[in-house]
Amino acid sequence: MPVSLANINMKQETKFMQRALELATLGRGAVSPNPLVGCVIVHENFTTGSRIIGEGWHQRYGEPHAEVNAMRSVAPYDEILLPDSTVYVTLEPCAHFGKTPPCADLLVAKQVKRVVVCNGDPFPLVAGKGLDKLQAAGIAVETGMLAEQGRELNKRFFTFVEKQRPYIILKWAETADGYIAGPDYQPIAISCPLSRRLVHRWRAEEDAIMVGTNTARYDNPKLNVRLWQGRDPVRVVIDKQLTLPPSLHLFDNSQATLVYTVQKSEVRDQTTYVQLGAEAEFLPQLVANLYGRRVQSVLVEGGTVLLQSFMDAGLWDEIRMFRSRDSLGAGIKAPPVLGVLVGQETVGTDELRYFRP
């Protein structure tokens, strides 16, 4: 049975887009509130075959976008090939002046032949305008290639723009018999060293990390990145009545910290107290305030009360739950999971489970 040339081309194109997605992940933890974007430039030659002549990704917020970095990587002797090349990019090229010029204008100026994208950009200043610019210049445009993978890559960005709130990850570790802490909130080491290292990598990838009053008081966490390389997230702590002692690590001004309370608004060095209104709407107000501060994602490492409140309010997107092999027998019970299991893996001696609503 003959092999379809169209199927071969599609398989090859999928490979190029997959490469663009892989490149995009290299910006994780450094580009927020911008999306993760990767770009691959491919010269098409029916005689010698397709060849990558440039690739790049958005490396840091405020710096050049993926398309710019990809174009800069094209060798001078290959620039003549751009009019016969296809650009594979994971998100619609921007069409507005922000911290950098429009990428759509760059692709038009380089006279590329074709642009293939995973997803359109829902951001109002782009939202189809980038694709329109390309088409108006006579560039062939295709969208939707590996669209599901593209949305998964930029789930934080899409949630932030479409739902107007941060992407919220609930994380905890529990014993084999379902306890999250010892009796009277006594801190205990539940997860294994490898799991704890993984959590520090997660901290470096998210904009903020949150705990409630009990976790702050009894665990006295630092909420920084120590077991991985990367930036420290913004620390977020709930202290409605301002009962937490100032001697806690959270108030050491070593990194940006937001304290949400009903008592006062005040700024002390790197610690900002944010006063919210009625307690009944405290959590939605908090989430809205984080959105206003352009916090795109939050890792909630709180105790049972805080985790349960997010689930009850329907304000969560993902659960990451470690389960130890060890039992405790008594203590503070972990919250019941209200989501659907979407994946699991073994991390050291722990089992890591992923849930979605």
Q: Report the amino acid identity of residue 329.
A: G
β-sheet with 340-347: strand ranges across? 266-268, 271-275, 257-261, 234-238, 208-211, 297-300, 167-174, 318-323, 350-356, 340-347
Question: Any idea which residue has 């379809």 for tokens?
Answer: 4
Active-site residue (options: 13, 44, 63, 67) = 67
**67 is known as an active-site residue:** yes
Look-up: residue for tokens 């009990």? 214
Residues assigned a catalytic role: 67
